[in-house]
Amino acid sequence: MHNVVLIPGDGIGPEITESVKRVLHASGAKINWIECEAGEGTFKRTGNPIPDETIQAIEKYRVALKGPLTTPVGAGFRSINVALRQQFDLYSNIRPAKSLPNIDSPFREVNIVLFRENTQGLYIGKEHWVDDEKKHAESIAVVTRDASEKIIRAAFEYAKKYNRKKLTLVHKANILKLTTGLFLEIGKEIATDYPEVEFEDLIVDNMAMQMVLKPSQFDVIVTTNLFGDILSDLASGLVGGLGVTGAANIGDDAAMFEAVHGSAPDIAGQGLANPTALLFSALMMLDYLGESRISEKIRAAVYTVLQDYKTECTKDIGGEGTTESYTNAICRILED
């Protein structure tokens, strides 16, 4: 039995987390859910978007599955998601993007796994005003050897473990010579430890173009925080959008798995929400917990539903069904 902290989140979060719980139960996965709260709804009730009880639960159990959260606007809070990643040093953000059956996309052979450094770069929000009139602002990007080595080696280890053939390091070292230059230098050093993995580096603007021209040429990608934020969403767009791609945030001794799409309050409670992204995140969680057999079983069931029971799927992925009908179809296959 695995203890997992479950944060349903805001908007459609409770609906899609309930769907994922049903699917994992139907698969035979032995999960003890420790339900906690965070987000805008929690802030409105308690005045705190991340209660101490939630932090303490993650500290105790070290694994969390999180639905979409809304950060309170104008309340002095930065992203709750970023805060949780930094709190537990979840330095490795892993975003797979793989072509799915019967999902509308011009590309059919995408199978990318993107590793994004999660704790540094421009995303840390080190900004300040230079003048009193607030006409001149500056932002500081931080890149360190230790953090760069961690994420790049994690990407190489993933490539080695899953027999991936190539790793592409993305940078802007032609302009940002010290920060992303350091990242590139470390990548070249670490690549020598993995001769079985082909290594290349690409400048970020060229990378964006190449991804939309021929995404099948890429396998594992590793990059800095801001570049990774942009390119991971681009990769999701190649296979159908954020609604069909999962995400993991992994550190040395803790992990959080999440849907990276929004909380979609406009459709909350209407049975329209697509749980695929959070479900795929949960499959990454099962892999992390050593339950890869169950993970593959669920993935096969999802593929079958997408291929053979399209009308049961939610409308955003071309079906005519609801959250419940889609969940029921996956569960029927698992139970059969």
What is the pLDDT at residue 98?
A: 95
73 shares a domain with 18? yes
Position 244 in a domain: yes
68 shares a domain with 25? yes
CA 49 vs. chain centroid, Å, equals 21
Residues in CB range of 66: below 8 A, 6 or more apart: 6, 7, 9, 38, 81, 84, 256, 257, 258, 259
71 shares a domain with 17? yes
The torsion angles phi and psi of 174, rounded to 5 degrees, stand at: -70, -25
What does DSSP assign to residue 71? P
Q: Of the listed 91, 123, 309, 326, which one is catalytic?
A: 123
The torsion angles phi and psi of 172, rounded to 5 degrees, stand at: -140, 45
- Within 88-231, strands assigned E span 92-98, 111-117, 121-129, 137-142, 166-171, 198-203, 220-223
What is the pLDDT at residue 268?
A: 86
257 shares a domain with 229? no
Position 130 in a domain: no
pTM: 0.93
Q: pLDDT tens digit string along 210-248?
A: 999 999 999 999 999 999 999 999 999 999 999 999 999
pLDDT at 143 over 80: yes
254 shares a domain with 226? no
Position 73 in a domain: yes
233 shares a domain with 256? no
| Listed residue (190, 173, 192) closest to 182, CA to CA | 173
| Average pLDDT of every residue of the chain | 92
What is the pLDDT at residue 132?
A: 83
What is the pLDDT at residue 131?
A: 87
Burial letters 309-321, b for 16+ CB under 10 A, else e: bbebbbebbebeb
252 shares a domain with 200? no
| Listed residue (128, 115, 117, 119) closest to 159, CA to CA | 115
111 shares a domain with 221? yes
123 is catalytic: yes
Q: Of the listed 193, 205, 252, 308, which one is catalytic?
A: 205
89 shares a domain with 1? yes
Considering 238, 267, 293, which residue would you say is the last residue of a domain?
238
Position 101 in a domain: no
Considering 238, 268, 293, which residue would you say is the last residue of a domain?
238
Mean pLDDT check: name the lowest of 139-153, 258-272, 300-314. Answer: 258-272
pLDDT at 77 over 70: no
Contact predicate 241/218, CB 8 Å? no
Position 121 in a domain: no
284 shares a domain with 163? no
CATH code for the domain in which residue 51 is found: 3.40.718.10
Question: Mean pLDDT across the stretch 164-182?
Answer: 95
Position 148 in a domain: yes
Position 136 in a domain: no
What does DSSP assign to residue 311? G
Give the DSSP H or E segment for 237. helix 225-238
Position 309 in a domain: yes
Residue 272: exposed, middle, or buried by beta-carbon count in 10 A (0-12, 13-18, 19+)?
middle
Bridge partners (DSSP) of residue 140 are: 126
Q: Of the listed 172, 201, 297, 309, which one is catalytic?
A: 172
Which pair of tokens denotes residue 162? 């899953």
| Listed residue (84, 15, 17, 86) closest to 49, CA to CA | 84
205 is catalytic: yes
233 shares a domain with 317? no
| Listed residue (112, 118, 117) closest to 96, CA to CA | 112
Domain that holds residue 315: 1-96+240-336
Cα separation, 80 vs 59, in Å, equals 16
The torsion angles phi and psi of 212, rounded to 5 degrees, stand at: -90, -15
What are the DSSP calls for 268-309, one per residue?
Answer: TTTT----HHHHHHHHHHHHHTT-HHHHHHHHHHHHHHHHH-
What does DSSP assign to residue 11? T
Considering 189, 209, 238, which residue would you say is the last residue of a domain?
238
10 is catalytic: no
Q: pLDDT tens digit string along 309-325?
A: 989 999 999 899 999 99
Q: Of the listed 229, 297, 309, 326, which one is catalytic?
A: 229
Cα separation, 267 vs 264, in Å, equals 6
Question: Mean pLDDT across the stretch 75-87?
Answer: 73
158 is catalytic: no
Q: pLDDT tens digit string along 249-267?
A: 999 999 999 998 988 888 8
Task: pLDDT band for 175, please (50, 70, 90 cuts).
Answer: very high
245 shares a domain with 206? no
C-alpha distances in angstroms, 40 versus 10, 49, 184, 201, 206?
7, 6, 38, 40, 38
Cα separation, 134 vs 142, in Å, equals 23
Our count of domains for the chain comes to 2
CATH code for the domain in which residue 203 is found: 3.40.50.2300
